[in-house]
Amino acid sequence: MSPRRGQVGRWLAWSETDRWQMAINSSTNAKFASCLISIFSFPFATVMATAPVQLRGICDFRCWLVSLSLLGCLFSKEALFCGRPTATRSLRSLRAASAVVSFDLDDTLWPQVEVIEEANQQIASLHATLSAEEVQGTMRRLRQEPPWEKVSYCNLRCAAYAELLDDTALAEEVLQQWISARNHAGAKLLYPDVMPCLEGLASSGAIVGAITNGAGNPRDIPALANFFHFSVSAQEETMFPHRKPSPVIFQEALERARSSGWTGESWWHVGDDLATDVAAAARVGLRTVHIDRPNRAQNRFSLSSEEALAARQAGADSEPDLTVSCLRGLAQKILQS
Ligand SMILES: [Mg+2]
């Protein structure tokens, strides 16, 4: 059964100690209930089934009591046989809680090109001078000039807005609108296998995070927020210029996972890029999943040259531990391995 968001949120907020207590309580309550029902229902059913019938009314009464006793027996069986798996599930969750699963976002949880296109259209519909082509052209030009060759993608976008609007304060507002539109588009265009995967991870108790070079943040997306314990982006002021494949961004993710209660047993990183996800994560000791989605569009919004992108992929020097074409069933595959 898929956990409801509220339940997931509370579960994720619990500490390791709370989860142990929950497991112990679940087990104890189920056993206590089953013992009580067994003690009362089995002897009562036996006595009533064999008692002599003195009166017709009592006989009817006896039939009712026998039926109720049998129902009690059934409930007792349910409690006995469901109580143990409840405890088992909880204990399995506790074991999985020592696992972290981090996700890249663009082209892993949603299609990057479509998401950026939609965010760009949203901005163009609000500000006539900010057509997608104008903004992209301005960003490409600025990227060649000091000091803009050394700023984050979001700051560069903000500079392009400022130039086209001739208003720095408004440009910063528009950048926030663009980031919000990007997150909204991400939620709307989420690949259909993402939610089942996140639900599987949530019910297994894994700590889930995001490590991205982009501006998306699943914790700012209502449909995803409850499933993610942490998110780290290379666009954050304190993180730039440490984009993946820099080990620094993974180190920051490690700190945030520890703050979420991770004690350090296993970590899987899932991403679409062989260099910035698979090879980079493997270099810092993580196990890796390469998601190779079919029909992925070329990222025409990248400000890197095609040569630079090709060289980056050629430099990918690690084989992933696992290669998949979708995320469905991934929680079981990685947490049982
Ligand atoms: Mg990606």
Q: What is the pLDDT of residue 145?
A: 87
For residues 262 and 265, give the distance between their C-alpha atoms in angstroms, rounded to a whole number.
Answer: 8
pLDDT, tens digit, 9 for 90 and up, residues 212-229: 999 999 999 999 999 999
pLDDT-derived band at 150, boundaries 50, 70, 90 = confident
Residues 245 and 192 in one domain: yes
Q: Which domain holds residue 79?
A: 5-96
Question: Alpha-carbon Rg of the chain, whole angstroms?
Answer: 28
Q: How far is the CA of 209 from the centre of ligand 1 (A)?
A: 14
Q: How far is the CA of 294 from the centre of ligand 1 (A)?
A: 14
Q: pTM for this one?
A: 0.70
Strand partners for 330: none
Q: How far is the CA of 213 from the centre of ligand 1 (A)?
A: 8
Residues with CB under 5 Å of ion ligand 1 are 104, 106-107, 272
Give the pLDDT mean for 158-176: 97
pLDDT, tens digit, 9 for 90 and up, residues 26-77: 434 444 455 455 555 555 556 556 666 554 555 555 555 555 555 554 444 4
Residues 77 and 193 in one domain: no
pLDDT, tens digit, 9 for 90 and up, residues 225-282: 999 999 999 999 998 899 999 999 999 999 999 998 888 779 999 999 999 999 999 9
Determine, yes or no, domain membership for 138. no
Give the pLDDT mean for 177-206: 96
Q: How far is the CA of 103 from the centre of ligand 1 (A)?
A: 9
**The 230-233 sheet, strands edge to edge:** 230-233, 207-212, 99-103, 266-271, 287-291, 322-324
For the chain, give the mean pLDDT: 79
Q: How far is the CA of 268 from the centre of ligand 1 (A)?
A: 15
Q: How many domains in the chain?
A: 2
Residues 77 and 14 in one domain: yes
Q: How far is the CA of 194 from the centre of ligand 1 (A)?
A: 14
Compare 315 and 21 and report the one with higher pLDDT: 315
Strand partners for 271: 290
Using the 3D structure, point to which of 96, 125, 147 is the last residue of a domain. Answer: 96
Give the pLDDT mean for 98-113: 95
Q: How far is the CA of 274 from the centre of ligand 1 (A)?
A: 9
Residues 196 and 307 in one domain: yes
Cα 244 from chain centroid (whole Å)? 19
Q: What is the pLDDT of residue 162?
A: 97
Angle between helices 56-96 and 16-50 (to 10 degrees): 160
Cis peptide before 241 (omega within 30 of 0): yes
Q: How far is the CA of 96 from the centre of ligand 1 (A)?
A: 25
Return the DSSP state at 277.
I
Q: What is the pLDDT of residue 78?
A: 39
Q: How far is the CA of 66 from the centre of ligand 1 (A)?
A: 63
pLDDT at 87 > cutoff 60? no
pLDDT at 92 > cutoff 50? no
Strand partners for 176: none
Residues 51 and 79 in one domain: yes
Residues 263 and 322 in one domain: yes
Q: How far is the CA of 187 from the centre of ligand 1 (A)?
A: 16
Q: What is the pLDDT of residue 112?
A: 95
Residues 192 and 71 in one domain: no
Give the pLDDT mean for 202-217: 95
Q: How far is the CA of 211 from the centre of ligand 1 (A)?
A: 10
Q: How far is the CA of 107 from the centre of ligand 1 (A)?
A: 5
Q: What is the pLDDT of residue 264?
A: 78
Q: What is the pLDDT of residue 61?
A: 54
Q: How far is the CA of 37 from the centre of ligand 1 (A)?
A: 55
Determine, yes or no, domain membership for 124. no
- Answer whether 245's CB lies under 8 Å from 283's CB: yes
Write the CB contacts of 215 (distance below 8 Å, at least 6 apart in sequence).
153, 154, 178, 179, 182, 233, 235
Residues 89 and 193 in one domain: no
Q: How far is the CA of 106 from the centre of ligand 1 (A)?
A: 4
Residues 109 and 221 in one domain: yes
Residues 244 and 104 in one domain: yes
Return the DSSP state at 278.
I
Q: How far is the CA of 212 from the centre of ligand 1 (A)?
A: 7
Residues 283 and 301 in one domain: yes
Q: How far is the CA of 52 from the centre of ligand 1 (A)?
A: 76
pLDDT, tens digit, 9 for 90 and up, residues 278-333: 999 999 999 999 999 987 767 777 767 677 777 777 777 889 999 999 999 999 88
Q: What is the pLDDT of residue 63?
A: 52
- Answer whether 322's CB lies under 8 Å from 289's CB: yes
Q: How far is the CA of 233 from the centre of ligand 1 (A)?
A: 12
In this structure, what CATH number is given to the domain that contains residue 256? 3.40.50.1000
Q: How far is the CA of 1 from the centre of ligand 1 (A)?
A: 30
Determine, yes or no, domain membership for 238. yes
Q: What is the pLDDT of residue 25?
A: 38
